[in-house]
Amino acid sequence: MSSDTLYLHVYAQHSYHQESLIVGNREGLLELRKLIDKALAQGTSVSGSLFSSDDEGYELYVGMVNDEDLFKSFEMPYTAQFGKKNDHSMFLNLKNDPDAPHDVFEIFKNTKKEEG
């Protein structure tokens, strides 16, 4: 791996109780830490550009949510739900919110891409 490329893989859980993984080179992990620190300091969402091991770039978004009810209303992150149609079979609507589950991408709609 090139030491100047920000490599990072984020592997989501397939379903509940399974592992999720974050794997990267030093530079990629430092970039992730920088984004987390920035989100914490600003109390909002931030983004940064990283690369998978096939050198395809992607935007990574890190968001901080202070509203517990909002957090609990987001779609579940499990990959088992996704396919041609997300049936939300793993979402528990604990607050009986008729609009839930909410799309987590809503918290990132005003996030500006980092210029690098």
| Each residue's pLDDT tens digit, 37-82 | 999 999 999 999 999 999 999 999 999 999 999 999 998 888 887 7
The answer on pLDDT for 1 being more than 50 is no
Any residues with CB less than 8 A from the CB of 93 and at least 6 apart, and which? 73, 100, 101
Contact criterion met (CB below 8 Å) for 64 and 43 = yes
Residue bearing the bigger pLDDT, 21 or 91? 21
CA proximity to 103, closest of 62, 79, 75? 75
